[in-house]
A = this chain, B = another copy of it.
Amino acid sequence: MIGLSGDKKFVEQITAMEDDFGQWYTDVVKQAELVDYGSVRGTMIIKPYGFAIWENMKQAIDEKIKETGHTNVYFPLFIPESLLEKEKDHIEGFAPEVAWVTHGGDEALGERICVRPTSEALFCEYYSNNVHSYRDLPMLYNQWSNVVRWEKTTRPFLRSLEFLWQEGHTAHATYEEAAEETEKMLNMYADICENYLAMPVIKGRKTESEKFAGAEYTLTVESLMHDGRALQAGTSHNFGPGFAKAFNIKYLDEEGEEQYVHQTSWGVTTRLIGALIMVHGDNRGLVIPPRIAPTQAMIVPVAQHKEGVLDRAYDLRDQLKDIVRVDIDASDHSPGWKFNESEMKGYPVRIEIGPRDIEKEQVVLVRRDTGDKEFVAMNELESRLEALLHDIQQNLFNKALAHREEKTSTATSLASFKETLEDKGGFIKAMWCGDVECEENIREQTGATSRCIPFEQERIAKTCVSCGKDAQTLVYWARAY
């Protein structure tokens, strides 16, 4: 039982990440009270603390979506099978993971209904009815919703039967505008990952075999987890006129000529919470970057039974609450328990205040990221706290970046590729000829998949790491979540 009463809660139960990273992840997710399992296999209950993190991410992303001229809408959960089938690649990609509704009440349905795995088909149908003239374009829509994908193996946040996400869907007059949108929204995701989640990303393009079902191309931001495996943090797809042809979405241009629209879609999901855990967490639990932490500073009263301590602690909370997201742990647990709990939850700063501190007009600040302690005079607390949160945010990013750099290697032969990957995991930068056979061969030989063709290209060799023929591009490879 992991309840707020906490009597049976031992933070010591976490597996060390060096011993078993998968078990460490599961332990953290449970002990930090982020999720619980749903009754249907592979579904998850997002508990208050997990949902508060998602709400903060969502707010940051939603603001940026609106700033860039998009508006929120809500499209239905249900898609008729015939509509999903209109775009050939799309249905092929998604059919194996669709949950099918076949009955409404007692009535057997004439046509099966799909629980949305993604909503391109519905947006396309809408555009085909609502786009007429070049003056209707661009249409810049986004929705926050739940989607269902019938996955065989699942893990909380990383791969679940149902997850929460935002999906942007846009229609444009030209290919160039769609391409610009695709890149703009990828850059927005990179901004969110790096400047809010303190998680450095590699921006690039997916190979043909890794792109979204129905897309002309897919852009991606790829991040590296603490165990050296990669995680796709967000994707942005340019469909060109592909869906428009399948769904007959045409407009009259300024010359009165019929043209197909060009579309994009882009999304990030509750997976980002999984990434956050695996990029910043440690053996004491979560570490949440200040910009998205539901609680940025947790006040822990020491010797709270002594006169005046709790009152002073509550005053402190009131004093700070307009400056930082602050809370107080006034439960009847011991300070030691509270320290552990505060570390498990990953609050960026812990503020300790006891009788001696009150006497000296000071508090103790403890950073979650480094464990450093400092005494701060009460009259300097506000400015120090703000500076500290800023430092922590920056330090988390720097640490994650240093880790990624340390775990990024180059390989010019398949033998060294394999050896390096076995040895230290992480990203392998290697040249590729562009053939899907070589991509497949690398996967079979090493277990690594192509993560992206990075925008920042280097020419580290002249030949493909797999076949030895002329190399076309540099690719980031990794074992991935």
Write the A27-64 contact mask toward B (1 if CB under 8 angstroms, else 0): 00000000010111001111110011011000000000
Q: Shortest beta-carbon distance, A112 to chain B, in Å?
A: 8
Assess the B46–A122 pair: CB atoms within 8 A.
Answer: no
Assess the B100–A101 pair: CB atoms within 8 A.
Answer: yes
Q: Chain A residues in contact with chain B, CB under 8 A? A: 1-5, 7, 36, 38-40, 43-48, 51-52, 54-55, 71-80, 83, 95-107, 112-113, 115, 122, 125-126, 129-133, 135-136, 141, 145-146, 148, 150, 161-162, 164
Give chain B residues whose Cβ lies under 8 Å from the Cβ of A132: 1, 3, 5
Bound-state Cα–Cα, A351 to B54, Å? 39
Bound-state Cα–Cα, A77 to B162, Å? 8
Bound-state Cα–Cα, A265 to B145, Å? 23
In the complex, which of the residues B3, B52, B102, B107 contacts A72, with contact meaning CB atoms closer than 8 Å? Answer: B52
Assess the A130–B3 pair: CB atoms within 8 A.
Answer: yes
Q: Shortest beta-carbon distance, A311 to chain B, in Å?
A: 22
Give chain B residues whose Cβ lies under 8 Å from the Cβ of A162: 76-78
Could you list 30 A-B pairs, sorted by A, with CB under 8 Å?
A2-B130, A3-B131, A3-B136, A4-B136, A5-B132, A7-B133, A38-B76, A39-B78, A40-B78, A43-B76, A43-B77, A44-B76, A45-B76, A45-B122, A45-B126, A51-B72, A52-B71, A52-B72, A55-B72, A76-B162, A78-B148, A78-B161, A78-B162, A96-B106, A99-B113, A100-B102, A100-B104, A102-B103, A107-B150, A115-B115
Assess the B48–A73 pair: CB atoms within 8 A.
Answer: yes
Q: Shortest beta-carbon distance, A150 to chain B, in Å?
A: 4
Bound-state Cα–Cα, A53 to B224, Å? 40
Number of copies: 2
Give chain B residues whose Cβ lies under 8 Å from the Cβ of A125: 39
Assess the A75–B1 pair: CB atoms within 8 A.
Answer: no
Assess the A38–B105 pair: CB atoms within 8 A.
Answer: no
Bound-state Cα–Cα, A112 to B55, Å? 32
Bound-state Cα–Cα, A51 to B142, Å? 11
Q: Shortest beta-carbon distance, A200 to chain B, in Å?
A: 28
Bound-state Cα–Cα, A43 to B146, Å? 16
Give chain B residues whose Cβ lies under 8 Å from the Cβ of A38: 75-76, 78, 122
Assess the A78–B43 pair: CB atoms within 8 A.
Answer: yes
Bound-state Cα–Cα, A145 to B145, Å? 8
Residue among A39, A52, A98, A148 with the highest chain B CB neighbour number at 10 A? A39
- 4 further contact pairs, Cβ within 8 A, besides A3-B136, A43-B78: A40-B80, A51-B71, A51-B73, A77-B162
Query: Which residue of chain B has its CB nearest to the CB of A49?
Result: B71
Give chain B residues whose Cβ lies under 8 Å from the Cβ of A102: 100-103
Bound-state Cα–Cα, A44 to B164, Å? 20
Assess the A5–B48 pair: CB atoms within 8 A.
Answer: no
Assess the A105–B97 pair: CB atoms within 8 A.
Answer: yes
Give chain B residues whose Cβ lies under 8 Å from the Cβ of A80: 39-40
Give chain B residues whose Cβ lies under 8 Å from the Cβ of A48: 71-73, 141
Give chain B residues whose Cβ lies under 8 Å from the Cβ of A164: 74
Bound-state Cα–Cα, A281 to B126, Å? 27
